[in-house]
Amino acid sequence: MAAKSKRDQMIDMAVLAPLDWVDERTGAVRGTKWFLFRNVPRDISWMQTLGSAALTAFIVQTVTGAILAMYYKPSSEIDPLTGKPIAYSSIEAITNEITLGWLVRGTHRWGASVFIILLFLHMGRVFLFGAYKYPRELQWITGVLILVMGMLMGFTGYLLPWDQTAYWATVVGINLNGTAPFAGPWLAQFLASGPEIGSDTLPKWYALHMLLIPGALIALIFVHIYLVTRLGVSSPPWSKEAAGRERTAVEPTGARAGLVRGSGGD
Amino acid sequence: MARDLGELNREEYANYKDDVKKEGKGFFPFAMWHDTVMSFVVVCVITALAAVWYFDADGTEPGLLGPWYTEPAEPGTTDFIPRPDWYFYFLFYLLRIFEWPETVFIATVGIPTLLLILLLGLPFYDRRRERRPLHRPVAMVAAVLTILSMAVLTWKGATAKEALGSELVLLVPTWAEEQGFADDPAAVTGAELFAQSGCMNCHVYLGEGNANLGAPDLSEIGRTNDAEYFVRYLTNPAAFGNNVMGSYSYLGQENLEALGAFLEASKGPSEDE
């Protein structure tokens, strides 16, 4: 083995050795390589970027959401300084006083709509391509669950500013849940934390919005991405060079037809 | 021997793996480049929306994309029109199609549950191997119909008519004349209460109000029952099997009796005039 230059040795020491150490114990480097250095069909198009676009919107939501959580106060008590509910006052402060608070809040607010739109577009693309069929059934199911969770995020997040729009939309939302047979009244009672929306409601919805549902959502997204890496992206079904296209009866690949593949019945 | 579906599926997928390995291109950097560009566009669009929303509005003054916030939540107000975020409009509008409250759970729970089951089960009842859209007519027609109906319901939900109590109260003299209760002071008081207590956030009366929630039209409700019944109903709608409408007992007995008189007097526009 040729002697390495001093520089190479140093790179080895500083970068590769720690990576090897981590990889030996976790498989993280192999995992990353497995994710990045895989092949995708050569005929994939811009339509197949909708999934990662939705992921980007979700990442925007987690980052802006974490920042908002540092300043938002989930309490419907009246703030003696402003004479308004504490939650509402904290939203006012985020929008008007905190540096670039308006941008963080605006991005979170509109990112939610963009996320939902991208989920619908992504689902439409998968449906059009028939990409939910074998072997990607569970891929589809996790996708539908992500959409449901995304809408629940919208439903729970809508209440948090504690303004009239938020309050009354949620009153109607909870009443609608209450119409369900059997579980309905119980569900409405749970969501409102009592017979009516009150001081216990806001912290509960806040916990749902920033702990429980996002936790489930992140877990589902990981499964979804693992599956797409494992199973692969499907080609547009109308493509002449689609991966997995029907094999013609005789397909000479260098060798003379019939010699290798046989000429008898299939 | 005819080969079964599972075998054909597995063979096709093996071919897919083979093709991708031999002819495919690397996810990194080719597909990832596209993803990066697209992600950049997404972030720009979101930021632009936030900027338009912020700079066009001012506090509770709405701009192109709505206000920063509305007034603080006030459970006592009754003239605020409830409105969910846009992606629930279709559900919101669906409610008016069903009878309130007997069958409304079809819209609130039945249809969403059915849609969810159909969506989740899709790969299991659509088991054909065919993926080309033009060779899947049933799937394509179903998809187009779903998208169309969702779009129509969302649009209708977005443009549904709304009215405020302060404007509705101006209609009371017209109602009194049409229904012929102008000489009944209790009924007129009841009509004013009706206009201002948020009843029309859910109910329609002589073509005004919010038909959005599917609550019954009350223009001719006086033909069904008398004032005493209406007072009992308003005090506790749940006792009549209506778990959607809240109790209005906080209005006080006197006001409830006025409302009852108004509802009893509402027998529909008199036809002989």
pLDDT of residue B161: 59
pLDDT at B238 over 90: no
pLDDT mean across residues, chain A:
89
pLDDT at A257 over 50: no
pLDDT at A154 over 80: yes
pLDDT of residue A188: 83
Q: What is the mean pLDDT of residues A50-76?
A: 97
Task: Convert A175-196 to b/e letters by CB count within 10 Å (16 or more is b).
Answer: bbbbbbeeebeeebeebbbeee
The pLDDT-based confidence of A102 (bands split at 50, 70, 90) is very high
Distance from CA of A91 to the nearest CA of B (A): 8
The pLDDT-based confidence of B93 (bands split at 50, 70, 90) is confident
pLDDT at A266 over 70: no
Which chain A residues are within 8 Å of B50, Cβ to Cβ?
102-103, 105-107, 109-110
Distance from CA of B188 to the nearest CA of A (A): 28
Q: What is the mean pLDDT of residues B96-124?
A: 81
pLDDT of residue B160: 67
The residue in chain B having the minimum alpha-carbon distance to the alpha carbon of residue A173 is B84
Chain B within 8 Å of A9 (Cβ-Cβ)? no
pLDDT of residue B102: 64
Instruction: Determine which helix (DSSP H) or strand (DSSP E) holds B159, and give its type and residue range.
Output: helix B137-159
Task: Convert B119-158 to b/e letters by CB count within 10 Å (16 or more is b).
Answer: bbebbeebeeeebebeebeebeeeeeeeeeeeeebbebbe
Answer for the pair B51, A110: CB distance below 8 angstroms, yes or no. Answer: no
CB atoms A137 and B124 under 8 Å: yes
pLDDT at A140 over 50: yes
* Alpha helix positions (H), chain A: 6-11, 17-26, 28-36, 50-71, 86-96, 101-128, 137-157, 164-178, 183-192, 201-207, 213-231
CB atoms B49 and A116 under 8 Å: no
pLDDT mean across residues, chain B:
85
Q: What is the mean pLDDT of residues A89-108?
A: 96
Prediction pTM value: 0.81
Residue A96: both structure tokens together = 């008007």
pLDDT of residue A253: 55
Distance from CA of B195 to the nearest CA of A (A): 18
- Cis ω on the peptide bond leading into residue A181 (within 30° of 0)? no
C-alpha span between A23 and B91 (Å, rounded): 49
CB atoms A243 and B19 under 8 Å: yes
* B201-216 pLDDT tens trace: 778 888 777 766 667 8
Could you tell me which residue, A263 or B49, shows the higher pLDDT? B49
pLDDT at A256 over 70: no
pLDDT of residue A195: 72
pLDDT of residue A77: 92
Which chain B residues are within 8 Å of A102, Cβ to Cβ?
50, 54, 68
Query: Distances from the Cα of A116 to the Cαs of A25, A55, A155, B117, B177, in angstroms?
Result: 38, 11, 12, 19, 49
- Residue B13's CB is within 10 A of a number of other CB atoms, namely 19
pLDDT at A238 over 60: yes
The pLDDT-based confidence of B249 (bands split at 50, 70, 90) is confident
* A186-195 pLDDT tens trace: 888 888 887 7
Chain B within 8 Å of A116 (Cβ-Cβ)? yes
Could you tell me which residue, B270 or A55, shows the higher pLDDT? A55
Q: What is the mean pLDDT of residues A218-232?
A: 97
Highest mean pLDDT among A9-13, A211-215, A254-258: A211-215
Highest mean pLDDT among A23-37, A174-188, B102-116, B240-254: A23-37
* B46-57 pLDDT tens trace: 999 999 999 999
Q: What is the mean pLDDT of residues A229-237?
A: 94
pLDDT of residue B215: 78
Which chain B residues are within 8 Å of A63, Cβ to Cβ?
none
pLDDT of residue A112: 97
The pLDDT-based confidence of A98 (bands split at 50, 70, 90) is very high
Q: What is the mean pLDDT of residues B92-110?
A: 71
pLDDT at A13 over 50: yes
Chain B within 8 Å of A200 (Cβ-Cβ)? no
Q: Which of residues 169-208 of B touch A (CB under 8 A)?
A: none
pLDDT of residue A41: 94
pLDDT of residue B269: 78
pLDDT at A247 over 70: yes
C-alpha span between B49 and B164 (Å, rounded): 29
ipTM of the complex: 0.88
C-alpha span between A196 and A202 (Å, rounded): 12
Could you tell me which residue, A247 or B61, shows the higher pLDDT? B61
Q: Which of residues 79-118 of B touch A (CB under 8 A)?
A: 80-88, 91-92, 95, 101, 104-105, 108-109, 116
The residue in chain B having the minimum alpha-carbon distance to the alpha carbon of residue A76 is B73
Q: What is the mean pLDDT of residues B158-167?
A: 62
